[in-house]
Structure 1
Amino acid sequence: MNFKIIFPVFLLFFFIGCKQLDEPQKKIIKTEPEIIKEKVTTKPSEDIEEDSSKYIFDREYTNQGFALIYEENLFNEKSISKKLDNRSLFIFHAKIRKNSFVKITNPENTKTVIAQVISNKATFSNFYNSVITKRIVDELLLDENEPYVELSLISNESTFVAKKAKTFDEEKKVAQKAPVDGITIDNLGTKEKKELPKTTQSNFLYSIKIADFYYKDSAENMIQRIKDETKITNPVIKKLSQTKYRVLLGPFNDIKKIQESFDEIEKLNFENLKIIKDV
């Protein structure tokens, strides 16, 4: 037998057979990383989407509107789902994270106070931008018949948060015992303003700001959508400049009428509706 011929042929068939056996293994190995990648990337993306839709992260977030002044009977009537200590500097807010700090300003006299969001799970009418305590009302000298405030989120990077957070933790412990005038909180280093008398209800005139548009056509399309999809029949366009057109509802001279229109326009799920005071 000629082994010189048989041995090379044997080697040839051996390598061909190994190659065929190896090909199915490559296909199995190739598909496995794709399955693993899908499992790893799906879960985090869902978590991120849920967080970003639930809370406000914009460090420049501000909102102007009416605050709801806490009263015990509102809780008893279930207009508010949680209790709030009226001696504290705490508020309820629907979208700002719990334990965040906000600056609340009374535009009538420019007085400000720093408050802490004690809960974002308390339910109340979306017409109000927050639920505030009687103490905050007194600090700002708000007219209880017209509790219009500007609310601004204080960034976590702010030096205020680092220096004053402990003060609010201590206040939680003593709010039930201490009189309202016995607790003081600095207002971001602002100078003490002269006490101003509370204003009486006069010149009550407010509008609901829907949105600002660059083109007039876009504003007109929004007007038509409001008329088609809600019961509101009188939205208006206010020209602020050659490139800025504002869609508004109002003006209103009664808080109940504003709330009725606000509840109606809320069906369209607009972001950050603002109630602005007409001057």
Structure 2
Amino acid sequence: MRKSSSRSPFGWSNHNGTVTVIEAPIARSYRRRAVIAFWVTSAVVGLLAATVASHYLHPILGALAGVAFGVVLGAVVFALIVAWPVLRVFWHWLPEILLGLAVVYGWVALMQSTPLWLSLLIVALVVGVPAAIGPVRRRVMSWAWCLIVRHRLRLCFAAFIATNRHGSLPLILLARPTPAGERVWVWLRPGLSLRDLEADGQVQKLAVACWANEVRVMRASRKYAALVRVDITRREPLAHTIVSPLPDYVPADIPSNAPTSPGMPPVGLDLPEVPDQPVTVPADAPRPRKPRNPTTDTASPSGFDPSDYA
């Protein structure tokens, strides 16, 4: 007979085994931290609350009120820490959740305020006009790639980039489109550094996982080493041919013998006539003396004239 596997607090059982949403070691680690946080929060908050309440109530009633307040606040902290792995999943999918809620509630509000044919016409215009206009369509697709890239980077961190012993993944922050692709800000957890992302070809693996041409990872803050920036390159905007409008401003009826500007360089300069070696003055050549003014200059009795060495 097959032994029944132990159930995880975030999983369910079926006929083939146990399907877990959160891994068992991660759940146990968060549960241990939640227990410690409960006792520490209850003790510290209960003591402080009892001290404050004793000034307004009877000491016994103040102590009981402080203990009750500490236990309640400790239970809240315990619940938040235990549920954080699930809350983190909601954080990962927060843009998609908000977008889905906006679409559903927007459609319901539109159906309640307009007839069916008008609702369908408005939806067709909202969806069809951006799809038909090229710049708007490309802008929408660039923001869609930002949502996709956040999940691809999270998959990379969970698959082949080392994490700490608690299994805490880096926190994927904001993402925005750039002319070359996308730019994502990531907050690294303890146990992971920028050097770990650059070592052993991890950057190339990130590029493959993000379906990109190139990925560059660099620091995003001089103050915090944990804040890094991931630049994902999908296209080379500087490699496209740009047609210059300057030839359109040149008139077409310029005669061939038109006079040139005096400031133009000479035409037909024969460079071989210019000597390659610079002209040097011999070291023993006599220096020209400065002519003396008999009305202002006076010779020294010894015959030394400082102007000769000027």
TM-score range, shorter chain: under 0.3
**Greater relative contact order structure (CA < 8 Å, 6+ sep):** 1
Q: TM-score, normalised by structure 1?
A: 0.23
Higher strand share: 1
Q: Normalization by structure 2: what TM-score?
A: 0.21
Q: Which structure is higher in helix share?
A: 2
